[in-house]
């Protein structure tokens, strides 16, 4: 089996690649297990060194649209495409053209390339909780069900929702076997901040653990829906392995979410690393970030995902301790047992 991961050098793409390579085989679309022969990682930058060292990894660097146009992605013999590459929420609000090009135009070009390949690969599209939003005209339900109407309130959410509909129609026509998955905000992400409005939901933990100051731009009681990196990858893999019967409707599946508040996240940080860590959080409101974050839902009832055997993380403290275990080099403060 050959697999393509767009955005494959990013944090989530690289983690997914490592998971698949460690598995060694995959039961794609409910079929029999097949050995993973090649994992193509398409991104603007090279993958991490440990992935490049694996003979099964093929790296393609450059703009994704150009890679598609040049036929560099080897889709003719690719059975699984996981489309993670995207401009993030804050970037899309700041640069409308960037978001439309990266999140809409390129997604359609990739789907068209899969159509031309002629064998209907499984196509897992990473959508987002940002397809839901709150407005006076269409108030957000208190709990999001699988049948709740998406009402995006920012460019990123609108682009992701359009992407879902494209994947659904290409699936209806038999060009791909689509699996739309709505990812929750992933926390805690290692590395440096990115342009996402939700970036602080990792930074307010990651930076203090490294002995650095961090800014929290929303009120402490702001509720958010989160998923650990490991749980997010499990959801993506399950989307690829589910049969058409298991998956059901062509509409997107909301992955399970842990509902917590920013205050509870800070309290978990204090239990893990003490007041030395929480004293490094600067509670400085940012109206624009708060407007985006509070327009997203925080409570879900993901029946379809649960029917696939997926569950939300146990607690935010468990997520945080998982980050500490996996990234000891990034933790400079003493951690409590």
Cα dihedral angle (285, 286, 292, 297), rounded to 10 degrees? -10
What mean pLDDT do residues 105-128 have?
98
Q: In total, how many domains does the chain have?
A: 1
Residue 193: is its pLDDT beyond 80?
Answer: no
219 belongs to a structural domain: no
Q: pLDDT tens digits for 315-328? A: 999 999 999 999 99
Give the distance from CA 19 to its chain's centroid.
15
What domain range is 248 assigned to? 2-184+227-254
Residue 156, Cβ neighbours under 10 Å: how many?
25
Residue 30: is its pLDDT beyond 90?
Answer: yes
334 belongs to a structural domain: no
283 belongs to a structural domain: no
Of residues 336 and 194, more confidence is placed in 336
CB 205 within 8 A of CB 333: no
300 belongs to a structural domain: no
Residue 195: is its pLDDT beyond 90?
Answer: no
84 belongs to a structural domain: yes
CB 2 within 8 A of CB 82: no
Q: What share of the chain is helix, strand, coil (3-state, %, to 5)?
A: 45, 20, 35
Q: What is the pTM of this model?
A: 0.94
What mean pLDDT do residues 212-217 have?
96
pLDDT at 244: 95
Q: Could you list the active site residues?
A: 156
117 belongs to a structural domain: yes
Give the pLDDT band (50/70/90) at residue 295: confident
How far apart are alpha carbons 216 and 165 in whole angstroms?
A: 34
pLDDT at 292: 86
CB 214 within 8 A of CB 203: yes
Quickly tell me which residue has 């679309």 as its tokens.
Answer: 29
93 belongs to a structural domain: yes
pLDDT at 77: 96
37 belongs to a structural domain: yes
pLDDT at 324: 97
Q: pLDDT tens digits for 68-86? A: 999 999 999 999 999 999 9
pLDDT at 197: 80
Residue 148: is its pLDDT beyond 90?
Answer: yes
How far apart are alpha carbons 265 and 118 in whole angstroms?
A: 47
How far apart are alpha carbons 201 and 296 in whole angstroms?
A: 14
Q: Where are the alpha helices (DSSP H) in the chain?
A: 11-23, 49-52, 64-69, 89-94, 96-99, 106-117, 155-172, 200-209, 229-241, 244-247, 262-273, 275-278, 287-294, 303-307, 316-326
Q: How many helices (H) and strands (E) does the chain have?
A: 15, 16
Residue 191: is its pLDDT beyond 90?
Answer: no
- Give the domain CATH number at 153: 3.40.50.720
- Average pLDDT in the chain: 96
pLDDT at 89: 83
Residue 232: is its pLDDT beyond 80?
Answer: yes
Which two tokens mark 242?
């589910």
């Amino acid at each position: 089996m050959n697999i393509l991961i767009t955005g494959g050098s990013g944090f989530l793409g690289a983690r997914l690649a490592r998971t698949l390579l460690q598995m060694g085989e995959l039961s794609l679309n409910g079929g029999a297990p097949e050995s993973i022969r090649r994992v193509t990682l398409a991104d603007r930058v090279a993958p991490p060194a440990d992935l490049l060292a694996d003979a099964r990894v093929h790296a393609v660097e450059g703009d994704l649209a150009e890679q598609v146009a040049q036929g560099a992605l080897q889709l003719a013999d690719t059975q699984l495409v996981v489309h993670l590459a995207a401009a993030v929420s804050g970037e899309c609000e700041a640069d409308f053209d960037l978001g439309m090009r990266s999140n809409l135009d390129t997604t359609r070009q990739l789907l068209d390339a899969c159509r031309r390949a002629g064998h209907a690969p499984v196509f897992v599209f990473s959508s987002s909780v940002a397809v839901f939003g709150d407005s006076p005209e269409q108030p957000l339900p208190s709990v999001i069900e699988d049948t709740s109407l998406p009402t995006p309130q920012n460019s990123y959410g609108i682009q992701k929702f359009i992407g879902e509909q494209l994947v659904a129609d290409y699936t209806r026509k038999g060009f791909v076997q689509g699996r739309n998955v709505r990812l929750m905000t992933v926390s805690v992400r290692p590395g440096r901040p990115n342009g996402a409005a939700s970036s602080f939901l990792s930074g307010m933990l990651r930076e203090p653990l490294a002995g650095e100051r961090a800014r929290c731009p929303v009120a402490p009681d702001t509720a958010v829906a989160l998923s650990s990196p490991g749980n997010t990858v499990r959801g993506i893999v399950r989307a690829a392995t589910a049969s058409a019967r298991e998956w059901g409707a062509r509409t997107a599946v909301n992955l399970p979410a842990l509902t917590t508040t920013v205050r509870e996240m800070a309290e978990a940080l204090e239990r893990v690393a003490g007041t030395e860590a929480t004293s490094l959080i600067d509670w400085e409101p940012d109206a624009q970030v708060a407007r985006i974050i509070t327009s997203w839902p925080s409570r879900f009832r993901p029946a379809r995902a649960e029917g696939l055997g997926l569950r939300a993380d146990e607690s935010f403290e468990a997520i945080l301790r998982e980050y500490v275990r996996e990234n000891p080099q990034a933790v400079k403060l003493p951690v409590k047992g």
